[in-house]
């Protein structure tokens, strides 16, 4: 009987495809093995557990995002560079169901991510930022984007796909005794693209106000 040969890349690619169908909670090594037409123990030659696989999935996600270069590297200003990179990060996360859950907290299996960090910090230092402030600015924008997308995917698992239990009109009716909280629903659960851009602008302006003068 012929044995199907697999490698780490095949497993990670299959896992990312199944992620869009099953979500992170439903993604099991058994499901991946079935898709690859192998027995589940075969996967343990490549990944010791699910978290080990998730780390590789996040690494592949990053590599795909930067396949054509570091987003924002040639934007002309640090402000536009920060915006471009975080737009690309959000777009990448949204292209996978539970993308933020997979990516957040994962440990990259290679050193690829160091390239974008090197580019970003170099741009910030050239712009006059102190090293400490440049690093903190990078983490502030990263945390903003990750947190935004995780909340966004909690409402819309995939772009245009509203999750269960989120109905702005029903929420407003339920909170009728609290008119301000009721009215806030339209701002909280709609217009994600516009809100992301506005919030990112606020973060960039804050970095400029707090850090740039201290370099």
Can you tell me whether residue 182 is helix, strand or coil? Answer: helix
Taking 50 as the threshold, does the pLDDT of residue 189 lie above it?
yes
Position 1 scores a pLDDT of 33
Element (H, E) at 48: none
Position 159 scores a pLDDT of 64
Q: What is the CA radius of gyration of the chain?
A: 20
Can you tell me whether residue 124 is helix, strand or coil? Answer: helix
Taking 90 as the threshold, does the pLDDT of residue 62 lie above it?
yes
User: To the nearest 10°, the Cα dihedral for 194, 196, 202, 207?
Assistant: -150
Q: Do 190 and 171 contact (CB within 8 A), yes or no?
A: no
Taking 80 as the threshold, does the pLDDT of residue 3 lie above it?
no
**Nearest Cα to 81, choosing from 51, 49, 117?**
117
Position 197 scores a pLDDT of 97
CA distance 155 to 152: 5
**Nearest Cα to 117, choosing from 147, 82, 77, 91?**
82
More confident residue, 17 or 160: 17
Taking 70 as the threshold, does the pLDDT of residue 20 lie above it?
yes
Compute the average pLDDT of residues 34-45. 87
Can you tell me whether residue 83 is helix, strand or coil? Answer: helix
Taking 80 as the threshold, does the pLDDT of residue 147 lie above it?
yes
Confidence bin at 215 (pLDDT 50/70/90): low
- Comparing 1-10, 21-30, 61-70, which segment has the lowest mean pLDDT? 1-10
- pTM for this predicted structure: 0.89
Taking 80 as the threshold, does the pLDDT of residue 4 lie above it?
no
Taking 70 as the threshold, does the pLDDT of residue 177 lie above it?
yes
């Amino acid at each position: 009987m012929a044995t199907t040969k697999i490698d780490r890349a095949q497993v990670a690619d299959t896992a990312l495809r199944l992620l869009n169908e099953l979500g992170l909670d439903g993604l099991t090594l058994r499901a991946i093995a079935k898709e690859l037409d192998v027995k589940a123990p075969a996967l343990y030659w490549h990944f010791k557990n699910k978290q080990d696989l998730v780390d590789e999935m996040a690494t592949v996600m990053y590599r795909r995002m930067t396949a054509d270069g570091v987003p924002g590297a040639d934007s002309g200003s640090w402000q536009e560079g920060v915006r471009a990179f975080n737009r690309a990060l959000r777009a990448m996360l949204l292209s996978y169901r539970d993308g933020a859950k997979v990516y957040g907290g994962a440990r990259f299996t290679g050193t690829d991510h160091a390239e974008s960090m090197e580019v970003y910090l170099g741009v910030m230092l050239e712009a006059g930022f102190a090293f400490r402030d440049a690093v903190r600015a990078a983490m502030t924008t990263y945390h903003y984007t990750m947190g935004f997308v995780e909340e966004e995917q909690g409402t819309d698992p995939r772009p245009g796909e509203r999750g269960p239990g989120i109905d702005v009109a029903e929420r407003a009716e339920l909170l009728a005794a609290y008119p301000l909280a009721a009215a806030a629903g339209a701002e909280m659960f709609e217009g994600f693209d516009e809100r992301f851009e506005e919030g990112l602008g606020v973060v960039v302006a804050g970095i400029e106000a707090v850090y740039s003068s201290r370099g």
